[in-house]
Amino acid sequence: MDNRLLQEIDLTQLPVHIAIIMDGNGRWAKKQGLSRIYGHQNGVTSIRDIVKFCAEIGVKYLTLYAFSTENWARPKHEVKKLMSLLEEYLVKELPTFIENNIRFKTIGLIDGLPPVVQDRIKENIERTTNNTGLTLNLALNYSGRSEISDSIRRIAVDVHNGSLRPEDIDESTISGYLFTSGMPDPDLLIRTSGEMRISNFLLWQISYTELWITDVLWPEFRREHLVDAIKAYQSRERRFGKV
């Protein structure tokens, strides 16, 4: 590992949960006159570097926005390619997850993904379920609003069948019904490619998350950029509404 890089951050004060909106694959490809698909392929290299680095330095949770519910509206061939890249990634990375003590998880409406992808997801979750290092959480067919709708539906079912009383519903109840149940809220949210928006990501969970946005396009994002983000995070004072 690059020790000089590590000296720039305080490893005892790492964000426990880092979330990333991995944006800019298409623009990166376009810049070099290539198809958007090429950008997505190269985005996978960035994912590998960031996952490995987070596991090495001891980040506990990394949530990556890989495919939103709105992304289905992209051209058919792009969606198809994204799904096949995802399948390939899950097959190729499983040994790395096992070797590096990484626990694989997902958030999102997994039922809506192609069955082959669902099978790979199941396998990766099962084979890494006892790992205790980094939890890699991929957001797939995910949006914050669909997550909240889904959890409200399940809350309603439980109220209806008598296992939950309306007067007992508080913020922690709601957190417990979300896909991220059991995970702490993100401390740091990174977005690449410079857009100043949330794009329906983790709406409930980011109420007090620190934001860091960079113009770097996702296929060019590497551990040194993540170190910059962590450095910025460590220089901030989180007040949570207090003085």
Nearer to ligand IPE, 21 or 57 (CB): 21
Q: Which stretch binds ligand IPE (CB under 6 A): 25-33, 106-114, 156-164, 179-187?
A: 25-33
Can residue 131 be called a binding residue for ligand IPE (CB under 6 A)?
Answer: no
Q: Which of 161, 220, 228 minimizes the C-alpha distance to 32?
A: 220
Sorted by sequence, the CB contacts under 8 Å of residue 144 that are 6+ apart come out as 198, 200, 201, 202, 203, 204
Output the furthest CA–CA distance in the chain (Å, rounded). 59
- What does the per-residue mask of binding to ligand IPE show for 177-216, with x meaning CB under 6 A? ----------------x-x-x-x-----------------
Q: How far is the CB of 22 from ligand IPE (least distance, A)?
A: 5
| Alpha carbon distances (Å) from 125 to 21, 84, 155 | 22, 18, 25
> Which partner in ligand IPE, Mg ion, none is near 68 (CB below 5 to 8 A by kind)?
ligand IPE
Q: Which stretch binds Mg ion (CB under 5 A): 19-27, 39-47, 67-75, 202-210?
A: 19-27
Rg for the chain, CA atoms, rounded: 18
- What does the per-residue mask of binding to Mg ion show for 20-49, with x meaning CB under 5 A? ---x--------------------------
What gap in Å lies between CA 179 and CA 151, rounded to an integer?
A: 8
Exactly one of 42, 46, 63, 68 binds ligand IPE (CB under 6 A); that residue is 68
Tokens of 17: 């949960």
Exactly one of 9, 14, 21, 134 binds ligand IPE (CB under 6 A); that residue is 21
Q: Which of 145, 159, 79 minimizes the C-alpha distance to 113?
A: 79
Nearer to Mg ion, 23 or 93 (CB): 23
From the list 10, 42, 49, 71, the catalytic residue is 71
Q: Which of 190, 202, 53, 209 minimizes the C-alpha distance to 133?
A: 53
Exposure pattern of 118-130 as b/e (b: 16+ CB <10 Å)? Answer: bebbeebeeebee
111 is catalytic: no
Q: How far is the CB of 143 from ligand IPE (least distance, A)?
A: 9
For residues 190 and 19, the answer to whether their CB atoms sit within 8 Å is: yes
71 is catalytic: yes
Catalytic residues: 23, 71
Where does this chain bind ligand IPE (CB under 6 A)? 21-27, 65-68, 71, 82, 193, 195, 197, 199, 218
